[in-house]
Structures are given as structure tokens and as C-alpha cells.
């Protein structure tokens, strides 16, 4: 399995962009909108939007770094300095069991390319109005299922792209992009 290097600033500003568009939201909604934006970007442009490592969790894919940032915002600390440093962009409060995320700053659009914004807008428009259960069902795609069945919590970007019917040519291009970026093969 290969993974792209996480662009941590882009991940934060992509989440800020989502929150600007949909308003305060729970972790789940933000994470699923970002996941589907990643898929769209992979299929359309052959590279992920943020490169964050997606984990196959019970309610669907979760971006690992951004999860750490949100938890740091909620708890005020993290064992990961990079997450703590970026957590000031968000506040997190709990309403019952659901942690609600609020953006404390505007997204820096210089951190997001035109294709990033296109993917985010597409995903917000398609998924922003979906309910929790609908997002769970939709995100339990073949990439999630494959990671879950193999007891491998980390999802492959190749599988994520393949799950939405990315062409063989684009899949080959994604593989080439992965080889040419800061990738570690597993």
C-alpha cells in the first residue's frame, strides 16, 4: 500500500473551508465531506486533496491528522505537537455524544488550489445535506470494506480511487504520482 504525504496546512484549511460552507458541524460530517472530496480529486486529477491518511473506522473513513487536530482543539492538548499547533483554528464542544466543530478563523484560500476548491464544492453540494446514517452507508465503500476485511485500519489511496470507478489510466497515473512523491510502500 502506498500513501501520500499529508499536507497538514492544506488539511486544516480544507476543514475550515468545509465549516465555512456548512456551518458548525460534527466531526463525522466534516470527515465524510473531506473523504468524498479526496475521492473526487483522485478520480479527476490523479492526486489526493490533502494526502491525510484515512483510517477505516466503524462509522466510515476518518482522516488521521485532522482527527488529532480536532481532538487537540477539544482537549486543549495533544501528544502530537503539529496537531496542537494547528488546533487553535477550531473550537470543539460536545452536545450529547456529538463533538461539534466551529471554525475560529477563515480558510486561507492560498492553501487550496482551484481543483481543491472544485472538489470541496462538489462534495459539500453532494454530501452536506446527508444525515449521519446516509454518510455512514455511502462511505462504507469498497475501499473501506477492503481495509476492514484485511484488518488493516489504514485505507489505500489506490483503493479509495478505485472505489468510485476511476479509470485504469488514471489509476496508473495515481500510482506514478505516488512513486514520485513522498510515499512509503507497505
Q: Is the pLDDT of residue 2 over 60?
A: no
Sort 59 into a burial class: Cβ within 10 Å, 0-12 / 13-18 / 19+: middle
Tens of pLDDT, residue by residue over 6-17, are 899 999 999 999
pLDDT interval class at 175 (50, 70, 90): confident
pTM score, whole prediction: 0.92
Beta bridge partners of 40: none
Residue 59 DSSP symbol:
T
Query: Given 3-state DSSP classes, what are the helix, strand and coil percentages for the chain, each rounded to the nearest 5?
Result: 60, 15, 30
Amino acid at each position: 500500500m502506498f500513501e501520500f504525504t499529508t499536507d497538514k496546512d492544506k488539511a486544516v484549511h480544507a476543514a475550515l473551508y468545509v465549516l465555512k460552507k456548512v456551518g458548525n458541524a460534527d466531526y463525522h460530517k466534516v470527515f465524510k465531506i473531506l473523504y468524498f472530496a479526496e475521492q473526487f480529486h483522485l478520480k479527476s486529477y490523479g492526486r489526493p486533496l490533502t494526502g491525510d491518511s484515512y483510517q477505516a473506522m466503524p462509522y466510515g473513513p476518518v482522516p488521521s491528522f485532522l482527527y488529532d487536530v480536532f481532538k487537540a482543539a477539544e482537549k486543549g492538548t495533544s501528544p502530537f505537537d503539529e496537531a496542537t499547533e494547528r488546533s487553535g483554528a477550531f473550537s470543539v464542544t460536545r452536545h450529547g455524544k456529538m463533538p461539534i466543530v466551529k471554525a475560529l478563523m477563515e480558510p486561507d484560500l492560498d492553501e487550496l488550489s482551484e481543483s481543491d476548491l472544485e472538489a470541496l464544492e462538489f462534495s459539500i453540494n453532494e454530501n452536506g445535506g446527508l444525515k449521519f446514517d446516509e454518510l455512514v452507508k455511502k462511505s462504507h465503500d469498497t475501499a473501506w470494506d477492503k481495509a476492514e476485511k484485511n484488518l488493516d485500519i489504514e485505507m489505500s489511496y489506490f483503493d479509495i480511487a478505485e472505489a468510485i470507478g476511476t479509470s485504469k489510466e488514471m489509476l496508473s497515473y495515481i500510482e506514478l504520482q505516488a512513486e514520485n512523491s513522498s510515499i512509503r510502500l507497505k
